Amino acid sequence: MPLSAESIARFAAVLADRSRVAMCLVLMDGRAWTAAELARSAGIARSTASEHLTALVRAGLLVERRQGRSRYLQLAGPDVAAVLEGLGAAVGQRVPPTSLRSARADARLTEARTCYDHLAGRWGVALYDALLAGGLLSADGGLVVTPEGRRWFAGHVPPGGRRPEVRECLDWTERRSHLGGRLGAALRDRALAAGWVVPVEGLPRALLVTEAGHLALAELQAAAPAPLR
């Protein structure tokens, strides 16, 4: 279906509310949250949040499921996350932090975080750059995995499907690309399993890069990195 001014305007109108955007950003961690949790995160009443969430579901940005009395919401998929991340990158200057706590949270998110189900932030962009520089990915004529990259990812390639194997995702803090797609998700899973990064308690999406993570990046930046283990 071709794009139309009307359809884009309707989509933009759904996001033209701070509370709706705030709840969508919380869901960028890829998990399902209850309506009550999202209401608290946005600082609004549950009844107000319910109306906003219904609008987001109808617009196709969120999906919902019910379990008992709880209503769980989740982003509709990685394409929605990519749109939100891209909007963040296009906005321009971010609002300066107003407290030491918010400044620390901002620094955590800038250093390393999840973007739905893949790695983002300064560390995620550095990983993507290393994959390109090392010849494991090629961006000539479109992003693809090279034969060397397939050997590096060996044993960690998820099954095929409608989702692209690799894709560029514009990072909203770095204004450069990080790795999305199925291999981006596989790399995130491996980073967590290997202890390269650990979630930051109380700060959704934020990741702390460990010494093992810094070593893994250094190895990836080497001329001939060992296969992903």
Element (H, E) at 146: none
Asked whether residue 187 is domain-assigned, the answer is yes
- Same domain, residue pair 46 and 111: no
Residue 62 pairs in a beta bridge with: 75
- Same domain, residue pair 70 and 107: no
Res 97: pLDDT: 57
- Same domain, residue pair 184 and 101: yes
- Residue at a domain's end among 44, 76, 108: 76
- Same domain, residue pair 115 and 202: yes
- Residue at a domain's end among 43, 76, 109: 76
Low-confidence ranges of the chain (pLDDT < 70): 1-3, 92-100, 102, 155-161, 223-227, 229
- Residue at a domain's end among 25, 46, 76: 76
- Same domain, residue pair 210 and 123: yes
DSSP assignment letter at 53 = H
Cβ atoms of residues 119 and 170 within 8 Å:
no
Res 123: pLDDT: 96
Asked whether residue 227 is domain-assigned, the answer is no
Cβ atoms of residues 53 and 33 within 8 Å:
no
Domains of the chain: total: 2
> What whole-number distance in Å separates Cα of residue 206 and Cα of residue 108?
6
Q: Which of 172, 11, 9 is nearest to 92 (CA)?
A: 172
Res 160: pLDDT: 65
H helical segments located in 115-210? 121-133, 147-152, 181-193
Amino acid residing at 36? A
Q: Which residues lie closer than 8 Å to 226 by C-beta, 6 or more apart?
A: 219
Query: Could you tell me the residue range of the domain that residue 132 belongs to?
Result: 97-222
Structure tokens at 208: 């702390």
- Same domain, residue pair 20 and 51: yes
Q: Which residues lie closer than 8 Å to 79 by C-beta, 6 or more apart?
A: none
